[in-house]
Amino acid sequence: MEQDVTFEHWLDRLLPALNGFDFNAKHLNRLLDEKPLGTLLWHSAVLSNLAGRDSLREEHQDSIILQWLRLPFLEAIALLRNKIVIPVESYYGMEEGYHSWAFSVAKIAKLDLLNKIKRSLLRAQDQGTPFEEWKAEFEKNYKQEYGNTPTARRSYTIFDTNLRSAHGTGRGQQMKELSDRKPGEYVGVWRWRDSPNPRLNHQGLHNKAIPYSHKFWEKCATPAGFGCRCSVSLMRRTIAENLGIEILEGGSIPNPEDIAEEGFRYPQWGIPKTEAFKKEKQKEWSEDIRGLI
């Protein structure tokens, strides 16, 4: 399997760095101080954090890393696939957290077009389709329905928000599964990425951590708004402390509603979409859908 081959290549590349290390207890202190080991662990963390993010391939030209980035992110694909298609004229009035379970595009109320958009985004998520290639298909389908083409910014927002949301929630699920095994042992470290118009509240959280068991994460997903490129990494509290990362506690933890914008205030790991939940939402929106088709 491609995944096994990629993992073996990764190990073949990293394991030689361990040559010469003695893992006996008496050498533990020296081992922890060795810069080569720190570099090795850092590379491992980078690969783990970036796995499945083929959109970053231009930043990581190394062939082994590229193979790792191109692995399909199964959780993200499943999240996008399971979203319920809801045609709406406007997001205003929709319940908080709709981004977690609803697939909708503002001012597109035609089910056929919405389903085409969703299928194209699923292919992009699975195969790593470049934005320009996806955009060409989207504009063609949009023009067939409405007679004109959307702006480039609108196209990018649809593409970027859906893929980043699926990725962020997928990561959140993985992190929660690990954190729940040992409550209180892990923290979520906020990562802010550069932006020409930064959200200062997001930038202010960069490289700061909040206990992953804290209720903050129940109301703040990443991305935390349209165009947001922030992400969260899970880390043991002790490791975060050793790295000098500030761990926020008590009153220093911000109100999640001051960080996440409307529509993005849902659990970092998403809202579980059981069959009962889907039926409830479909029934709830059935009258609105009939009036919009």
pTM: 0.71
Q: Cα 35 from chain centroid?
A: 31
Closest CA to 233 of 202, 192, 183, 188: 188
Q: Which residue has the higher pLDDT, 148 or 94?
A: 148
**Beta bridge partners of residue 85, listed in sequence order:** 103
- In 51-110, alpha helices (H): 63-69, 74-81, 98-101
Rounded percentage of the chain residues whose pLDDT exceeds 70: 66
List the structure tokens of 32.
């922890």
Structure tokens at 199: 């959200």
Report which residue type is found at 105: V
Least confident of 9-13, 191-195, 222-226: 9-13
Comparing 206 with 102, the larger pLDDT belongs to 206
Q: How far apart are the first and last CA of the chain?
A: 44
Q: Which whole number is the average pLDDT over 82-92?
A: 74
Tokens of 250: 């008590």
28-54 pLDDT per residue, tens: 444 444 455 555 555 555 555 554 444
Position 284 scores a pLDDT of 62
Confidence of residue 258 (pLDDT cuts 50, 70, 90): very high
- Alpha helix positions (H), 130-255: 131-146, 152-181, 200-203, 237-242
Q: Which of 84, 82, 81, 74 is nearest to 120 (CA)?
A: 81
**What is the average pLDDT across 14-35?**
50
